[in-house]
């Protein structure tokens, strides 16, 4: 096969490159998709990664990918110069606008940085049967990315309750890394 000159010396494409789409790219179907399509992508990828690399690695990859997404989301859609209460209000609005979920801040200790957040109607897991494990690893990374981006401190969010563990909301504990 002949070399494609357009592919030579091409820079490595990043998340932000693929997110640059024309607003009316889907002029008839529009900007939204059913949750089932999102979950089909998420859980097929989950299954494939777990089969190829094992479950622990799959979880790590989902967290890392979520972190990239959260960092991108914060930079693109959130104003990190806002003080905490305004920032969290803006975050709540944006997560609802994008139909990711309904965020509540149960606790945010400004001294330690420790936060407890809940997401109801979560796109990833709301309505799932009892599976005996938390499944929102992508969200763990997503929230970590947003909090890290906002505070400038490295955050880790861990899901402690989930629809898949029999709860009606997803609850995340978020802490600044030691
Ligand atoms: Zn969940």
The residue extents of the domains of the chain are: 33-176
CA distances from 56 to 26, 63, 106, 132 (A): 37, 11, 29, 16
pLDDT at 176: 97
Residue-level pLDDT at 178: 84
Measured in Å, residue 3 CA sits from the centre of ligand 1 at 46
How far away, in angstroms, is 101 Cα from ligand 1 center? 10
* Biggest CA pair distance of the chain: 61
Q: What is each CA distance from 149 to 52, 80, 132, 146, 155, in whole angstroms?
A: 31, 8, 32, 5, 9
In this prediction, residue 8 carries a pLDDT of 63
Specify whether the CB–CB gap between 152 and 176 falls below 8 A.
Answer: no
Give the Cβ contact number of residue 135 at 10 Å: 22
Query: Tens of pLDDT along the chain (178 residues)?
Result: 555 656 666 789 999 999 998 888 899 999 899 999 999 999 999 999 999 999 999 999 999 999 999 999 999 999 999 999 999 999 999 999 999 999 999 999 989 999 999 999 999 999 999 999 999 999 999 999 999 999 999 999 999 999 999 999 999 999 999 8
In the reported structure, the alpha carbon of residue 119 is separated from the centroid of ligand 1 by a whole-number distance in angstroms of 8
How far, in Å, is the centroid of ligand 1 from the Cα of 118? 9
Query: Ligand 1 centre and the CA of 163: distance in Å?
Result: 5
CA of 22 to the centre of ligand 1 (A): 32
Q: Give the fold, CATH level 3, of 33-176.
A: Muramoyl-pentapeptide Carboxypeptidase; domain 2 (3.30.1380)
pLDDT of 22: 82
Distance 154 CA to ligand 1 centre (A): 22
From residue 7, alpha-carbon distances to 11, 12, 19, 116 in Å are: 9, 10, 20, 46
């Amino acid at each position: 096969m002949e070399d494609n000159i357009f592919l030579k010396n091409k820079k490595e494409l990043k998340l932000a490159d693929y997110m640059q789409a024309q607003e009316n790219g889907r002029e008839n179907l529009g900007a939204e998709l059913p949750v089932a399509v999102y979950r089909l992508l998420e859980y097929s990828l989950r299954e494939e990664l777990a089969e190829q690399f094992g479950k622990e690695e799959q979880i790590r990859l989902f967290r890392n990918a979520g972190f990239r997404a959260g960092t991108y989301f914060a930079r693109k859609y959130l104003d990190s110069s806002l003080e905490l209460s305004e920032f969290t209000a803006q975050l709540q609005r944006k997560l609802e606008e994008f139909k990711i979920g309904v965020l509540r801040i149960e606790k945010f200790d400004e001294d330690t940085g420790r936060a407890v957040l809940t997401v109801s109607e979560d796109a990833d897991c709301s309505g799932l049967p009892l599976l005996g494990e938390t499944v929102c690893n992508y969200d763990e990374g997503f929230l970590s990315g947003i909090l890290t981006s906002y505070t400038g401190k490295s955050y880790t969010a861990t899901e402690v309750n989930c629809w898949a563990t029999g709860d009606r909301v997803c609850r995340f504990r978020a802490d600044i890394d030691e």
